[in-house]
């Protein structure tokens, strides 16, 4: 069976983890701080805080910005549950909007959804393909939109507009108008989960890029405190400061990354552009070359003059099929020893959100994309021969189902 997305664990990673274990720093320590600095250099943003998951990073920022009951946060209906669940945790209301054919959030839908209660917009770079950030950034600065904005916290008053918080869980390494993901808007959150291009087993990063008068270095320190129970010194700071004494400044959270996680990330980041992305790009191009020949195939958009994906998920769609047929095709593919997936079931289709009153009928493009989508295997160790096996399995499966 060809797996869907196993992590890359080789001797370099094993050696780095062993080095961390021998160092005595297995929680947040020097490697985490080094990873943060290298991520900032890589993405081109102003400061970076590593956390234990992208979910934690999203919630940390929502809480810092004062999002609470009575507020609204706009996000695409087509995303993973984490993007919306953190809004629920803060007591606010998720406002789902539809996406475009490229799977990313619709600017027109965002503008229609903005109200005086809107505090944050969370675009999602689905599959690693960046959203239209210049347009979204311009939207929140429009006079009419700014006039609607009703700040309730010092942070909201300081920014004076809706915060744009990018869910870039899929898109580290992607490009948008000659800038890397992480530096495209106010704040960006990466995921380093086990199935991501760049993994730390579990983990994430908050990339700060706020405009003046915000001091992103000061904000980094503030968020660092929030991410560790409100404690004003982490373990590393205690050893460097020469004193054990610390204080609890607020009731914070347990969101910190460990050096064990960071050690994996340091190896992966060091070879990411010249190795990992090169291989993933080759797999994308091989799939596209094969499927462009098939009249039933709709290949994903992943490179234009303005955008380049991170090559995270290959979102193949089958033209003119139903959701039931898609599921049958996936089963036929699995019968041929190839693992495939779907990214994602739109959240208005999930029990929790259906009970909250959301209806998938309100998001027709999201449903159409979902109903015809099959995610194909893309990972570093997938061989050229296995790529051909995947293509053959998909083609045979589609032929079998469409003929029945």
Q: What is the C-alpha separation between 97 and 324, in angstroms, rounded?
A: 24
What are the residue ranges of helices labelled H in 150-258?
154-159, 216-226, 235-241
Are 318 and 206 in a shared domain?
Answer: no
Are 277 and 266 in a shared domain?
Answer: no
Split at pLDDT 50, 70, 90, the class of 334 is very high
Are 376 and 314 in a shared domain?
Answer: yes
Going by their DSSP bridges, the two strands 118-121 and 179-180 should be labelled as unpaired
Are 49 and 156 in a shared domain?
Answer: yes
Count the helix, strand and coil residues of the chain and give each as a percent rounded to the nearest 5. Answer: 45, 15, 40
Q: Determine the pLDDT at residue 196.
A: 98
pLDDT at 235 over 90: no
Are 214 and 181 in a shared domain?
Answer: yes
**Domain-terminating residue out of 253, 270, 287:** 270
In a domain, 129, yes or no: yes
Domain around 374? 272-403
Q: What is the pLDDT averaged over residues 223-242?
A: 85
Are 256 and 286 in a shared domain?
Answer: no
pLDDT at 32 over 80: yes
In a domain, 35, yes or no: yes
Are 250 and 327 in a shared domain?
Answer: no
Split at pLDDT 50, 70, 90, the class of 404 is confident
Q: Determine the pLDDT at residue 284.
A: 98
Q: What is the pLDDT averaged over residues 145-161?
A: 98
Are 33 and 153 in a shared domain?
Answer: yes
Split at pLDDT 50, 70, 90, the class of 242 is low
Residue 161: alpha-carbon gap to chain centroid: 23
Are 322 and 191 in a shared domain?
Answer: no
> How many domains is the chain built from?
2
Where residue 289 sits, what CATH number does that domain have?
Answer: 3.90.1150.10
Q: What is the C-alpha separation between 256 and 358, in angstroms, rounded?
A: 34
Flag the least confident range among 20-29, 108-117, 233-242.
233-242
Coil, helix or strand for 81? helix
In a domain, 327, yes or no: yes
Q: Determine the pLDDT at residue 95.
A: 99
In a domain, 99, yes or no: yes
In a domain, 5, yes or no: no
Where residue 163 sits, what CATH number does that domain have?
Answer: 3.40.640.10
pLDDT at 237 over 90: no
Contact (Cβ atoms closer than 8 angstroms) between residue 75 and residue 98? no
Q: Determine the pLDDT at residue 236.
A: 78
Q: What is the pLDDT averaged over residues 249-274?
A: 97
In a domain, 4, yes or no: no
Q: Determine the pLDDT at residue 183.
A: 98
**Each residue of 46-76: pLDDT tens digit?**
999 999 999 999 999 999 999 999 999 999 9
In a domain, 6, yes or no: no
**Domain-terminating residue out of 237, 270, 303:** 270
Are 361 and 235 in a shared domain?
Answer: no
Q: Determine the pLDDT at residue 241.
A: 66
Are 166 and 60 in a shared domain?
Answer: yes
**Domain-terminating residue out of 246, 270, 294:** 270
Q: What is the pLDDT averaged over residues 342-370?
A: 98
Split at pLDDT 50, 70, 90, the class of 243 is confident
Are 266 and 286 in a shared domain?
Answer: no
Q: Determine the pLDDT at residue 291.
A: 98
In a domain, 17, yes or no: yes
Name the average pLDDT for the chain: 97
Q: Determine the pLDDT at residue 234.
A: 80
Question: Shortest CA distance to 127 belongs to which of 165, 89, 100?
Answer: 100
pLDDT at 370 over 90: yes
């Amino acid at each position: 069976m060809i797996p869907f997305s196993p992590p890359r664990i080789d001797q370099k990673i094993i050696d780095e983890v062993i080095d961390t274990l021998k160092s005595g720093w297995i929680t947040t320590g020097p490697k985490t701080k080094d990873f943060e600095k290298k991520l900032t250099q890589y993405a081109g943003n102003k400061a970076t805080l590593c956390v234990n998951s992208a979910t934690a990073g999203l919630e940390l920022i929502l809480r810092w910005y004062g999002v609470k009951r009575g507020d609204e946060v706009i996000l695409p209906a087509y995303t993973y549950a984490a993007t919306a669940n953190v809004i629920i945790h803060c007591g606010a209301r998720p406002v789902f909007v539809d996406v475009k054919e490229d799977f990313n959030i619709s600017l027109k839908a965002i503008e229609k959804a903005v109200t005086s209660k809107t505090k944050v917009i969370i675009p999602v770079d689905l599959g690693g393909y960046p959203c239209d950030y210049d347009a979204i950034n311009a939207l929140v600065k429009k006079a009419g939109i700014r006039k609607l904005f009703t700040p309730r916290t010092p942070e909201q008053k300081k920014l004076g507009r809706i915060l744009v918080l990018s869910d870039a869980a899929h898109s580290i390494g992607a490009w948008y108008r000659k800038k890397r993901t992480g530096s495209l808007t106010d704040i960006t959150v990466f995921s380093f989960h086990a199935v991501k291009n760049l993994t730390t087993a579990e983990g994430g990063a908050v990339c700060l890029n706020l405009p003046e008068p915000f001091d992103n270095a000061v904000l980094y320190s503030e968020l660092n405190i929030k991410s560790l129970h409100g404690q004003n010194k982490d373990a590393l700071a205690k050893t460097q400061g020469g004193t054990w004494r610390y204080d609890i400044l607020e009731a914070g959270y347990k969101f910190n990354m460990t050096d064990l996680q960071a050690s994996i990330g340091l190896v992966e980041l060091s070879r990411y552009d010249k190795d990992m992305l090169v291989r993933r790009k080759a797999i994308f191009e091989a799939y596209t070359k094969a499927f462009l020949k098939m009249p039933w195939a709709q290949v994903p958009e992943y490179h234009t003059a303005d955008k380049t994906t991170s090559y995270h998920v290959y979102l193949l769609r089958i033209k003119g099929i139903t959701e039931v047929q898609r599921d049958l095709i996936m089963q036929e593919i699995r019968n041929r020893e190839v693992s495939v997936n779907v990214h994602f079931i739109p959240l208005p289709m999930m029990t929790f959100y259906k009970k909250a009153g959301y209806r998938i009928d309100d998001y027709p493009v999201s449903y159409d994309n979902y109903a015809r989508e099959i995610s194909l295997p893309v990972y570093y160790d997938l061989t050229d021969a296995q790529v051909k096996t995947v293509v053959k399995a998909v083609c045979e499966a589609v032929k079998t189902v469409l003929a029945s």
